[in-house]
Structure 1
Amino acid sequence: MRYTSEDVGLLIKTTQYRHHRGLDASLAATGISLVQWSALREIERNPGASMHRLAELSFNSDQAFGTLTARLLRVGLIERFQGPGRVTHHRLTPRGTELLREGRKRVMKVLVLSFASLDEKERDMLGTLLAKLLT
């Protein structure tokens, strides 16, 4: 079968939508959403990153990420600390770290199931092709 660029774009978006719904449903049992879990993941992965950079990495606008971090602070999943000058950084609290770990298990189950119809070579090929698109 020949796929047009529109077909491929729609397949990528449909896969992403399916992942988002499945991940949100699985994470709901932990009391956090995919958006919140993604913010925790990026805060952990990128210590010292600016709010703007964390917003980009978690696919949020700066304003949305600011609102999100305020909520994560309120519920005790992250804390703020002063960096050099006027820079403010974030880090996970022990509770935030635990929710990130529990969420990661759930995320991996959803993703493994999602890609189960592909063998290792096909997953590698898909990853290579998607990475090529992003360069």
Structure 2
Amino acid sequence: MALKSLKKQRRIQVVALAAVALIVSTGLIGYAMRDGINFFRSPSQVMEAPPTETEVFRIGGLVEEGTLVRDDGETIRFSVTDGGATVPVVFTGVLPDLFEENQGMVGTGRYVEGVFQASEILAKHDETYMPKEVVDALKAQGMYQEPET
């Protein structure tokens, strides 16, 4: 009888140890990935609840017509809109070839003192593609138009 209870106790210890190991490993993976996860926000979401200046996130929408300004260097200023709100953006670097006004874009960066400071800008890769998050944000504001085929 004592042998059965010893086996049962050992089995419970192994299961408990496995559960603890699973919880610890899940926590460590989450901790390691916290800087690698960038949440998407539309311009309307940014204006409704501005993120902290230290939070890195992605913003997407249409490049507002008439707002694209290139400085003497590599600094570019423009506004991104989803039809409900507009967020000014500043980016230093080389823009993608297909970047232009009235086209979809997604930028990664931080929202500092009312301006989105982009560290990376992505643009559509052909005439019909637009990131799903941008399409959803534009549809929510009634601004999305199906591409012509």
What range is the shorter-chain TM-score in? under 0.3
Higher normalized strand content (fraction of residues): 2
Higher normalized helix content (fraction of residues): 1
Could you tell me the TM-score, scaled by structure 1's length? 0.24
**Larger relative contact order (C-alpha < 8 A, sep ≥ 6)?**
1
Structure showing greater radius of gyration is 2
